[in-house]
Amino acid sequence: MTVDLHADAPRLPEGLSLDLGALLGGDPWPVELELGPGRGGFIVERLRIEPSVRMVGLEIRRKWAATVDQRLRRLGLAERGRVFAEDAREAVPRLRPASVSVVYANFPDPWWKRRHRKRLLLVPGFLCELCRVLVPGGELFVQTDVPERARAYEALVRAHTGFEPWGNEARVADNPRTTPSPRERRACADGLPIFRLRWRRI
């Protein structure tokens, strides 16, 4: 018999039209959403250095969701930040429209094998869901160190009428936030190029 050590990892409440802001302390005001925070370096640091920010992470790996959520609690940040053990593809469609101010997808889609393609996160249907939950003027920020993925994401978002590049084009040289994600930190240390893409929800 196998025991699931993280069966009690935090989950979103049942139901539809969930308001992430209301799940945190304070007003039901739009929150920032990180897809796949992994070991949580970005969400934890961002909440630590930006006292006005509220963030939710959706992480498919229960162990990491539980670990990072506990860390936020230990640091006294749980009123402004939570990580839920959820498949973002299933959770985002259950969120209330226009309830998210920024979506971060830091190095998503670690799926390389052909048989794993069905797991890809940034695909047309999911992009429509991100568009739906973002407030008008809200931001979609994506980073990857894989050039073909960057090109594919650009083509995907260009084909969607709900987004426009943040500046003249979607690609930006630097991360507009000062807090790197764990993968971003490693890629920088290894001297890998990082492709950063930034769009505005129209």
Ligand X SMILES: C[S@@+](CC[C@H](N)C(=O)[O-])C[C@H]1O[C@@H](n2cnc3c(N)ncnc32)[C@H](O)[C@@H]1O
Which residue numbers are catalytic?
109
Mapped onto helix, strand or coil, the DSSP state of residue 143 is strand
- Output the CA–CA distances (angstroms, integers) from residue 100 to 16, 96, 141, 195, in the order listed: 15, 9, 13, 23
Token pair of 46 as six digits: 């961002």
Closest contact distance (angstroms) between CB of 8 and ligand X is: 18
Residue 104 near residue 33 (C-beta atoms within 8 A): yes
- Find the binder of ligand X among 46, 62, 149, 183 (CB under 6 A): 183
Question: Residue 110 interacts with ligand X (CB under 6 A)?
Answer: yes
- Name the closest residue to ligand X (Cβ): 36
Q: Collect all residues with Cβ–Cβ distance below 8 Å to 25 and sequence separation of at least 6.
A: 79, 80
- Find the binder of ligand X among 83, 88, 102, 131 (CB under 6 A): 88
Closest contact distance (angstroms) between CB of 95 and ligand X is: 13
Residue 105 bridge partners (DSSP): 35, 142
- Single-letter amino acid code for the residue at 99: S
Residue 35 bridge partners (DSSP): 58, 105
Question: Residue 21 interacts with ligand X (CB under 6 A)?
Answer: no
Question: Residue 59 interacts with ligand X (CB under 6 A)?
Answer: yes
Question: Residue 101 interacts with ligand X (CB under 6 A)?
Answer: no
Q: Collect all residues with Cβ–Cβ distance below 8 Å to 71 and sequence separation of at least 6.
A: 40, 44
Question: Residue 58 interacts with ligand X (CB under 6 A)?
Answer: yes
Closest contact distance (angstroms) between CB of 111 and ligand X is: 8
Mapped onto helix, strand or coil, the DSSP state of residue 163 is strand
Listed ranges 13-21, 85-93, 134-142, 145-153: which one lies at the site for ligand X (CB under 6 A): 85-93
Question: Residue 121 interacts with ligand X (CB under 6 A)?
Answer: yes
Contact positions vs ligand X (CB under 6 A): 35-38, 58-61, 64, 87-89, 106-108, 110, 121, 181-184
